[in-house]
């Protein structure tokens, strides 16, 4: 036979995780990240560019860990040709994000020379949100188009996180 205290402890164990979830203060990163990626897909289609979009969120004032999401918008890679060795857009978009994680500035900002593993290419945008660092990046188009796609995603992140 269970005592009232045992029932209370069991109930507390069941509801405790929800007391500490992000959902308490609004939508969590997964839902907001999906909306940001959808906005980036729409903008990429408008600009007629294909590639990879990604968004990331790091709680606090610096990046020591993050949650990220990505989506392929048409092509993951471009194939080699006589004038190009081909591109891995997923690799490129995450190098843009890696640069922003360190500098907390848009990718390609030029505030320091690119480190090994970075290219210093534009196409990623970064901002401090209410609760952490927000990153959005796109790779696949011209730099100015990549920035426009990334800005569409960052706008959604800024409205929620």
Given a cut of 70, whether residue 61 has pLDDT beyond it is yes
Position 148 confidence tier, pLDDT thresholds 50, 70, 90: very high
Domains of the chain from N-terminus onward: 27-158 (3.30.450.150)
CA angle 65–12–29, rounded 5-degree value: 25
Given a cut of 60, whether residue 153 has pLDDT beyond it is yes
pLDDT of residue 82: 85
Q: What is the pLDDT of residues 14-33, one digit of tens each?
A: 444 444 444 334 468 999 99
Q: Distances in Å between the alpha carbon of 116 and those of 32, 64, 99, 108, 113?
A: 32, 19, 10, 14, 10
CA angle 140–146–151, rounded 5-degree value: 145
pLDDT of residue 10: 46
Q: What is the pLDDT of residues 65-107, one digit of tens each?
A: 999 999 999 999 999 988 889 999 999 999 999 999 999 999 9
Q: What is the pLDDT of residues 110-140, one digit of tens each?
A: 999 999 999 999 999 999 999 999 999 999 9
Buried b (16+ CB within 10 A) or exposed e, 117-141: ebeebbbbbbbebebbbbbbbbbbb
The residue among 110, 124, 123, 132 whose CA lies nearest residue 29 is 132
pLDDT of residue 2: 55
Q: pTM here?
A: 0.82
């Amino acid at each position: 036979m269970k005592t009232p205290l045992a029932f209370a402890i069991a109930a507390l164990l069941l509801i405790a995780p929800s007391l500490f979830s992000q959902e308490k203060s609004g939508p969590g990163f997964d839902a907001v990240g999906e909306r940001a990626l959808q906005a980036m897909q729409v903008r990429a289609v408008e600009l007629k560019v294909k590639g990879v979009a990604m968004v990331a969120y790091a709680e606090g004032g610096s990046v020591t860990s993050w949650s990220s999401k990505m989506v392929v918008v048409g092509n993951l890679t471009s194939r080699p040709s006589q004038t190009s060795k081909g591109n891995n857009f997923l690799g490129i978009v995450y190098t843009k994000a890696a640069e922003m994680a360190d500098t907390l500035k848009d990718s390609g900002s030029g505030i320091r020379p690119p480190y090994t593993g970075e290219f210093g290419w534009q196409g990623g945008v970064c901002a401090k949100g209410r609760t952490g660092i927000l990153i959005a990046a796109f790779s696949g188009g011209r730099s100015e188009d990549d920035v426009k796609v990334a800005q569409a995603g960052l706008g959604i992140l800024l409205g929620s996180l």
